[in-house]
Amino acid sequence: MVKLGTRSATRNLFGDLALIAFLVAQALDGVLTYVGVSAYGLRMEGNPVIASLMAVMGHGAGLATAKLTAGVFGIVLHLSAVHKAVAVLAVFYAAVAVVPWIAVLFC
């Protein structure tokens, strides 16, 4: 949160933590997706947009493009002070992307 007309920015601890959680979830999803697709093939990717990017650009470049784009959008939401949405997205990615990949790869 930034106060207009002043030089100092007011920090929002919840917003900062939500952004960090979101970016960590994106990074974990990217790494786990790369490992999973490398081990089991592209058919393991459940998101058709990500699978298409990976098929066209290569696994690493496609994932990097998708995860960097998501990260930028998360940062934009954070800078727009939409912290609850960032927090919800962080929980969503952890629940539907990170946890399932952990289950597939390590259980």
pTM (predicted TM-score): 0.86
Confidence of residue 10 (pLDDT cuts 50, 70, 90): low
Average pLDDT over residues 101-106: 94
Q: Which long-range contacts (CB under 8 A, 24 or more apart) does 57-65 make?
A: 59/34, 60/34, 63/30, 63/33, 63/34, 64/30
Partners of 9 in the beta sheet?
2
Partners of 2 in the beta sheet?
9
Task: Please report the pLDDT score of residue 7 as a whole number.
Answer: 43
Nearest to 16 by CA among 73, 75, 57: 75
pLDDT tens digits, one per residue of 29-87: 999 999 999 999 999 999 999 999 999 999 999 999 999 999 999 999 999 999 999 99
Confidence of residue 102 (pLDDT cuts 50, 70, 90): very high
